[in-house]
Amino acid sequence: MKIDILTLFPDMVEPVINQSILHRAQEDGHVEIRVHDYREYSTDKHRSVDDYPYGGGAGMVLRVEPVVRALRDLDRKRNALRILMTPQGIPYSQARAKTLAKNDRIIILCGHYEGYDERIRDYFDVEISIGDYILTGGEIAAMVVVDSLVRLLPGVLNNEASAEEDSFSEGLLEYPHYTRPRVFEGKAVPDVLLSGDHGKIEVWRKEQALSRTKKRRPDLYERYLKRRKDK
């Protein structure tokens, strides 16, 4: 997979993509991540990419020209999936991550200022939001998307089962985990995990995932039951 990130603040992005799993995935050739400062595509001497909104109002608006120039330079054949990070977008989810991870090429635009010139939307395929709140810019949101995609790529995780067992992979929260010591301040590891009976362990984990989801995220639990019923 190839991922191009368009941002006004490369220094916010590069430290993240050069750490941990993202760094290793790039070194191993599973993904190529490139960061571009789209201020470079501005044509005025001040390299400005924003302007005052028509009709008045607070804040500045991201101009359409620098963004489109960047897209056309990076995606001449129009074969990349273009993602616009915006709080107005489709809510992000694990299911959405799995769908996006099937693409070979992705371009992500990180917005800034008060918002986008509305015409920018015409040049993107999907708009994504990571939650109902406002961030200073789209860089942090873009890193959430990139991290969630890369870990789904074949060969990235040392244990391929990890991605399948994560919270939300089946529409449920993940079951509890334990490691040594066996007892800590009177709190013991459940006996079933020490039994060596993998069948019982699997049943226990599924029960725990269902119970935890029902208690903490009843909305996910109801959605899970509905999908089961539909099947």
Active site residues: 87, 114, 151, 166
CA distance 15 to 222: 39
CA distance 67 to 71: 6
Helices (H) and strands (E) in the chain, counts: 8, 10
**Paired tokens of 129:** 């939001």
Strand pairing report for 187-188 and 183-184: antiparallel
Max Cα distance, the chain (Å) = 70
**Paired tokens of 125:** 């395929």
